[in-house]
Amino acid sequence: METSSQFKELLETIKDLTETVNYVGIIAHDFQPQSQEVLNRKINNMVKGLAKLDELKDNFEDVLVPMEVLNYIDQGKNPQLYTQDCYQRAQQKDEEVKGKIAALQSFKDSLMEELKTSMPATMEEYKEGTEHVLKCTLYIVVQYTLYILCVYSVHYTFMCVRSIKIILNEF
């Protein structure tokens, strides 16, 4: 059975079960002897609904739900807010990392300037060594990209190509 139809069946079963439980609650609250037959039918329907849920549970063994989503539900919040909160936290973390990268880049630039003025010969050796390391690194990245192209999808290859461009722009 297709996954989306499995979810639809599960939702329909939960909806029917919830409706049945509400009816049982209403009948039990205002119980009268002549409603015994209706109550019995609704309780039997409730048991059948629970049995169906038990059958359906096997279709969802591989579905993982983060505990935070369950906590949202327990707190009476909409579980879709979890996704929004995760996105906002990721954006905030991204901004923090960008700030750290900018600070480190600024420190590197000022350190390099200072070293160029105080030790020009050593910095020239460093620059030549860095170019060699960059060439070796690019060779490894290109080999890895070719491996990914052969083994994995093209999507990952584009990510590696983008990484190579970023590396080239850094040096």
- Residues in the chain predicted with pLDDT less than 50, given as ranges, are 154-157, 171
Q: Are the C-beta atoms of 83 and 72 separated by less than 8 Å?
A: no
User: Given this model, what pLDDT does residue 89 score?
Assistant: 85
Q: Are the C-beta atoms of 72 and 78 separated by less than 8 Å?
A: yes
User: Given this model, what pLDDT does residue 169 score?
Assistant: 59
User: Given this model, what pLDDT does residue 143 score?
Assistant: 64
Pairwise CA distance, residues 149 & 159, whole Å: 11
Tokens of 10: 């599960």
User: Given this model, what pLDDT does residue 48 score?
Assistant: 92
User: Given this model, what pLDDT does residue 139 score?
Assistant: 65
pTM, 2 dp:
0.45
Pairwise CA distance, residues 25 & 122, whole Å: 84
User: Given this model, what pLDDT does residue 78 score?
Assistant: 86
